Amino acid sequence: MKEFTEVQIKTLEEIILHRRDVRGNRFLDKKVPQDVLDKIVYAGVNAPSVGFSQPWEFVLIDDQEVKKKVKASFDKENKKGGNQFEGEKADKYKQLKLEGIIEAPINMAVFYKPSNSPTLGQTTIEEAGVYSVVCAIQNMWLMARALNVGLGWVSIIDPNKVKKILNAPDDRQLIGYLCLGYVDKFYDNPELERLNWEKRKDTSDVVKFNGY
Amino acid sequence: MKEFTEVQIKTLEEIILHRRDVRGNRFLDKKVPQDVLDKIVYAGVNAPSVGFSQPWEFVLIDDQEVKKKVKASFDKENKKGGNQFEGEKADKYKQLKLEGIIEAPINMAVFYKPSNSPTLGQTTIEEAGVYSVVCAIQNMWLMARALNVGLGWVSIIDPNKVKKILNAPDDRQLIGYLCLGYVDKFYDNPELERLNWEKRKDTSDVVKFNGY
């Protein structure tokens, strides 16, 4: 049985702690080699999946025209999103750079592909299929960081617009839209913590024992 | 800027490849020390979260009475689930051990706690909050494996029954129910691949470029 060492456990912890959500102002105009992208996707396809259904699809995007269309959806949704905040937060929101669609050399749209027959483990909780795709994204996020590639997850876009832009079949569901590329630096802390947008929670407040 | 080495990249890849979904027949009756559980939870709370919302709650369970109630929900849902398969698969399903609720020394229910005010990044895609919780689960799964602790995700349970058993507030959503413990071994391949339930997909079939 493969056992991991103290040093290896520490390595995983460091990768987890140094992973950041990267925005456009950090990406470098530097090509990400195909073998690096392959390693990232390999981490994704080796994620857990309900009933070993592997219900994921990855669309790699380097076409600036495609990116521009996605960026247009972001701009629209971001304006609507910003309007939901009031006072100081509304002002702060406008100053935030929340995506790197154009700046990142590679974008990746990650889709959920539902099965047309029953999937083991998904018979009660239908969302378990989508959760598998999120596990794949998190594996890729960690692998990207280990490879010193920044990744930013853009969630302020209309999933159906992106589906249309990418000609995705009707049954597909966009789960994540990711921006990938080398960066000038990774921050030590999450950007929204650094900017005092949100505070870090105490772990003791989110852990319970045997019930609420 | 923290840069990771080839050896460290390889370590992450190995942890990802050796992570398994662990069932009851593999768990050992051996206590998981609190500092090991703390390390696993620490990996969870350092997952990415939309708008740095950290919308997760973790309920650790070692009470056999609580586990028995959850197991009763599994039994009911598993019977219903099994009925969805036909022929050879129906027979095979009945022979599968799909959870380790009682056998695992520790169970963990992971909840999503929605915010009552707008969350940055969640204004278009409401599900982004739930996805953050799944990222936390995947971080914990990898850290558990690095610590040589097995983890199995049980998705064949009624989330509302589990909420009731654990006295969870109305607004909480159960995302994952996990079984944790030391194991006699980790399989080299996913159990459902080993048992020929599903085949591994070719990566080339799930990767597209610039659209479908």
Nearest to A124 among B155, B167, B212 (CB): B155
Q: Is the Cβ pair B52, A192 closer than 8 Å? A: yes
**Domain boundaries defined on chain A:** 20-194
- pLDDT value for B145: 98
Residue A160 pLDDT > 90, yes or no? Answer: yes
Residue B83 phi, psi (nearest 5): -65, -15
Q: Is the Cβ pair A61, B210 closer than 8 Å? A: yes
Among candidates B154, B57, B159, which has minimal Cα distance to B102?
B154
Residue B1 pLDDT > 90, yes or no? Answer: no
Q: What is the dihedral of CA B206, A42, B52, B177, to 10 degrees?
A: 80
Give B96→chain A minimum CA distance, Å: 10
The mean pLDDT value for A135-146 works out to 98
Task: Note the pLDDT tens digit of each residue in B42-82.
Answer: 999 999 999 999 999 999 999 999 999 999 999 999 999 99
**b/e per residue B108-132 (b: at least 16 CB within 10 A):** bbbbbbeeeebbbbbbbbebbbbbb
Among candidates A186, A106, A85, A28, which has minimal Cα distance to B121?
A85
Q: Which residues contact B63 (CB under 8 A, 6 or more apart)?
A: A210
Pairing mode of beta strands B150-154, B173-181: antiparallel
* Rounded Cα distance, B19 and B72, in Å: 27
The mean pLDDT value for A57-62 works out to 98
Give A41→chain B minimum CA distance, Å: 8
Among candidates B30, B19, B58, B22, which has minimal Cα distance to B147?
B19
Nearest to B207 among A9, A21, A58 (CB): A58
* Rounded Cα distance, A113 and B172, in Å: 27
A101 within 8 A of A71, measured Cβ to Cβ: yes
* Rounded Cα distance, B46 and A12, in Å: 12
The mean pLDDT value for A73-88 works out to 97
- Best probe of the A interface among B3, B10, B15, by most A CBs < 10 A, is B15
Give the CATH architecture of domain B21-198. Answer: 3-Layer(aba) Sandwich (3.40)
- pLDDT value for A147: 98
B-chain residues near A47 (CB < 8 A) = 16, 138
Give B25→chain A minimum CA distance, Å: 16
Give the CATH architecture of domain A20-194. Answer: 3-Layer(aba) Sandwich (3.40)
Q: Is the Cβ pair A52, B85 closer than 8 Å? A: no
End-to-end Cα, chain B, rounded Å: 37
Residue B135 pLDDT > 90, yes or no? Answer: yes
H or E stretch covering A58: strand A56-61
Tokens 């999120």 -> residue: A134
* CB-neighbour burial class of residue A96 (10 A; exposed 0-12, middle 13-18, buried 19+): middle
Minimum CA–CA partner of A65 in chain B: B210
In percent, the amount of chain B with pLDDT more than 90 equals 99
The mean pLDDT value for B144-149 works out to 98
The mean pLDDT value for B185-211 works out to 96
A-chain residues near B11 (CB < 8 A) = 4, 8, 11-12
Residue B24 pLDDT > 90, yes or no? Answer: no
Average pLDDT, chain B: 97
Task: Note the pLDDT tens digit of each residue in A85-135.
Answer: 999 999 999 999 999 999 999 999 999 999 999 999 999 999 999 999 999
Nearest to A54 among B57, B201, B211 (CB): B201
At A69, the amino acid letter reads K
pLDDT confidence of A59, banded at 50, 70, 90? Answer: very high
A162 within 8 A of A1, measured Cβ to Cβ: no
* Rounded Cα distance, A141 and B199, in Å: 25
Q: How many CB pairs below 8 A link A and B? A: 298
At A60, the amino acid letter reads L
B-chain residues near A56 (CB < 8 A) = 206
